[in-house]
């Protein structure tokens, strides 16, 4: 079984994009995991499938799968890559705002140029029941027990759940332990992306993210949105913020509750290829 694909990345968060606009492609977990393997496969953080729209409100739909084969509700860097892929395919003009649908709902995208995309990521969700997160009410800070250690977090959904730890200086040793523990913490019944953010100023953040289903990534678009949203909700940052991640920088704009959050960043093409499933010879 031959599968044509495009390898892309957004600030180092890498993807395989598959054209499923005819609705014909179906992938199982084993195939996704084999493709994601960085030694024997293509290697990626997430797989993205571009599919026909599922209702009249959007131009296209895109599916998201983590490298372990699990589905994801949203991916900020991924949606920028989908937009750039559609633009190159002639389906998304420069400067035009187009709605495309993710597993967690529609988003609006606009190509600023061939490689820069701005995305309406929707309004951040702080209601614990909708994140989902086990807490009786909304607050700016929650304390979790992580192996007997209290860890303060902010909890928010950007179409997927996030635990945000704000630290003046985040040690690599502490992150290496806390990242996977927060991702799998039982109070996040569907798991969470764990972000560790350092506030450099009211307009500038540094962030590292451990993603559920993917592990540590070079960048996480929804993680950058979540970190900014948590700090903005606390009144600690301005409405326009630059977020530096290991793979590059994203620009996040959110004026506050009742408004949608916008993310702007790059999308890059790496190579085209054809995946031949080693388990099949047809």
Residue 222 assigned ligand-binding role: yes
DSSP state of 94: B
Residue 105 assigned ligand-binding role: no
CA distance 102 to 108: 10
Residue 160 assigned ligand-binding role: yes
CB 36 within 8 A of CB 217: no
Residue 13 assigned ligand-binding role: yes
CA distance 101 to 227: 23
pLDDT in tens, 127-153: 999 999 999 999 999 999 998 999 999
Residue 38 confidence (pLDDT) above 50: yes
The architecture CATH gives domain 2-122+267-276: Roll (3.10)
CA distance 222 to 157: 9
Q: Going along 11-45, which residue ranges are E strands?
A: 13-19
Place of tokens 């084999």: 34
Spell out the domain ranges in the chain: 2-122+267-276, 128-259
Average predicted confidence (pLDDT) for the chain = 94
Residue 140 assigned ligand-binding role: no
pLDDT in tens, 57-99: 999 999 999 999 999 989 999 999 999 999 999 999 999 999 9
3-state secondary structure of 86: helix
Average pLDDT for residues 28-39, to the nearest whole number? 95
CB 61 within 8 A of CB 20: no
Looking only at the bridges linking them, the beta strands covering 193-201 and 161-166 are parallel
**282 — pLDDT class (breaks 50, 70, 90):** very low
> Do the first three CATH levels of 2-122+267-276 and 128-259 match, i.e. the same topology?
yes
Higher confidence at residue 178 or residue 277?
178
Catalytic residue among 31, 197, 220, 243: 220
pLDDT in tens, 229-260: 999 999 999 999 999 999 999 999 999 999 99
Catalytic residue among 3, 47, 75, 92: 75
Homologous superfamily of the 128-259 domain (CATH) = Diaminopimelate Epimerase; Chain A, domain 1 (3.10.310.10)
Residue 90 assigned ligand-binding role: no
Does residue 220 carry a catalytic annotation? Answer: yes
Q: Going along the chain, which residue ranges are E strands?
A: 2-10, 13-19, 46-52, 60-66, 97-102, 105-111, 116-120, 142-146, 149-157, 161-166, 193-201, 204-211, 215-217, 240-245, 248-253, 262-266, 268-276
Residue 207 confidence (pLDDT) above 60: yes
CA distance 190 to 173: 25
Residue 21 assigned ligand-binding role: no
pTM: 0.91
Does residue 81 carry a catalytic annotation? Answer: no
* pLDDT at residue 174, rounded to an integer: 83
| Token pair in block for residue 201 | 């100023």
pLDDT in tens, 146-199: 989 999 999 999 999 999 999 876 678 888 999 999 999 999 999 999 999 999
């Amino acid at each position: 079984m031959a599968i044509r694909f495009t390898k892309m990345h957004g600030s180092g968060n890498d993807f395989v994009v598959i054209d499923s606009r005819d609705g014909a492609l179906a992938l199982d977990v084993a195939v996704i995991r084999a493709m994601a393997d960085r030694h024997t496969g293509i290697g990626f953080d997430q797989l993205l499938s571009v599919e026909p729209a599922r209702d009249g409100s959007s131009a296209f739909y895109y599916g998201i799968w983590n490298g372990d084969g699990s589905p994801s509700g949203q991916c900020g860097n991924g949606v920028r890559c989908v937009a750039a892929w559609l633009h190159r395919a002639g389906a998304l003009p420069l400067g035009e705002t187009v709605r495309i649908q993710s597993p967690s709902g529609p988003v609006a995208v606009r190509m600023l140029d061939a490689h820069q995309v701005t995305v309406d990521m929707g309004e951040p969700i702080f209601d614990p029941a909708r994140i989902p997160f086990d807490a009786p009410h909304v607050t700016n800070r929650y304390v979790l027990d992580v192996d007997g250690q209290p860890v303060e977090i902010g909890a928010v959904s950007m179409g997927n759940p996030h635990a945000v730890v704000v630290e003046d200086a985040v040690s690599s040793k502490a992150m290496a332990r806390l990242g996977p523990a927060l991702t799998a913490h039982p109070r996040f019944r569907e798991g969470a992306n764990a972000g560790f953010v350092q506030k450099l100023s009211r307009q500038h953040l540094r962030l590292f993210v451990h993603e559920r289903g993917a592990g540590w990534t070079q960048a996480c678009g929804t993680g950058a949105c979540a970190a900014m949203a948590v700090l903005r909700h606390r009144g600690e940052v301005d409405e326009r913020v630059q977020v530096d991640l290991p793979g590059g920088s994203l620009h996040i704009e959110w004026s506050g509750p009742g408004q949608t959050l916008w993310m702007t960043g790059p999308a890059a093409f790496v190579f085209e290829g054809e995946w031949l499933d080693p388990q099949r010879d047809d």
